[in-house]
Amino acid sequence: MAMWDKIKDQAKTFQQSQGTRGASGPGQGPQGQQGYQGPQGSGRPGSSSGGSKAQLIGMFKTQLASVKTELKSGAYRDASMAMCALVAAADGQVEPAERQRVEELIVSNEVLQNFPADQLRQRFNQHVDRLVGNFELGKSEALQVIAKAAKKPAEARAVIQTGMVIAGADGVFEPSEQYAIREACTALGVPPSEFGV
């Protein structure tokens, strides 16, 4: 949970710099949550800490959208799919419902719509299958693909932000998901502290 506190200030600064949403303070918590009513929906906290998570995910989405036109390379596509698979399989297993949920998040993601949905699904599922079959081997393969995005810092950061958006979409940030994102940061040469992990 501490990671959210670490980057809450970043979120506030970012929102103020946007100007339009700067007025909404932490008291506006539950606002950002009303859209999601999935299996975990009932268990999500209605407190302002839940709202701040939603705000942070919103911040990463906004940052990604602002560089959307630059994120059209195969390296970004492949690395972000490997990242999403690592997050989905972070605890070593992926339920069919979880896989489907992440797939839907991927194909509905504004930035990832730069790519055909079937390409995204194919790459995501390929990585998930390998991770489920042999976690350590699948993980090292995924991290190798992620590392290919390191040449362009904007793409490298976008891969991590994409992973954060997918991981935080259910309002819960598991320690295993945080660890997967830290490993991806290392592979990309990006300081994990930038993302509060």
| Alpha-carbon separation of residue 134 from 139, 166, 187 (angstroms) | 8, 22, 20
The answer to whether residue 33 scores a pLDDT higher than 70 is no
Q: Model confidence over 141-175: pLDDT tens digits?
A: 999 999 999 999 999 999 999 999 888 877 777 88
- Give the model's confidence band at 109: pLDDT under 50 very low, under 70 low, under 90 confident, else very high: confident
pLDDT digits (tens, 9 = 90+) for 128-149: 999 999 999 999 999 999 999 9
**Averaged pLDDT, 90-99:** 88
Residue 197: C-alpha distances to residues 58, 114, 192 (Å): 17, 28, 5
CB 113 within 8 A of CB 196: no
Band of pLDDT at residue 54, cut at 50, 70 and 90: confident
Q: What is the DSSP string of 20-76?
A: TTTT--GGGGGGGGTT--STTGGGS--SHHHHHHHHHHHHHHHHHHHTGGG--SHHH
Record the pTM: 0.71
Torsion of CA 84, 38, 114, 161, to 10 degrees: -50
Task: Provide the 10 A C-beta neighbour count for residue 87.
Answer: 25
Phi first, then psi, for residue 72 (nearest 5°) are: -120, 10
**List of long-range contacts for 114-122, beta carbons under 8 Å, 24+ apart:** 114/68, 114/71, 114/72, 114/77, 115/72, 115/77, 119/77, 120/77, 120/81
> What does the alpha-carbon distance between residue 54 and residue 75 come to, in Å, rounded to a whole number?
28
Structure token digits, residue 79: 């690395």
Instruction: Say if residues 29 and 46 touch (Cβ distance below 8 Å).
Output: yes
Interhelix angle 74-88/153-168, rounded to 10 degrees, is 30
What is the pLDDT averaged over residues 81-110? 91
For the chain, how far is it from start to end, CA to CA, in angstroms? 10
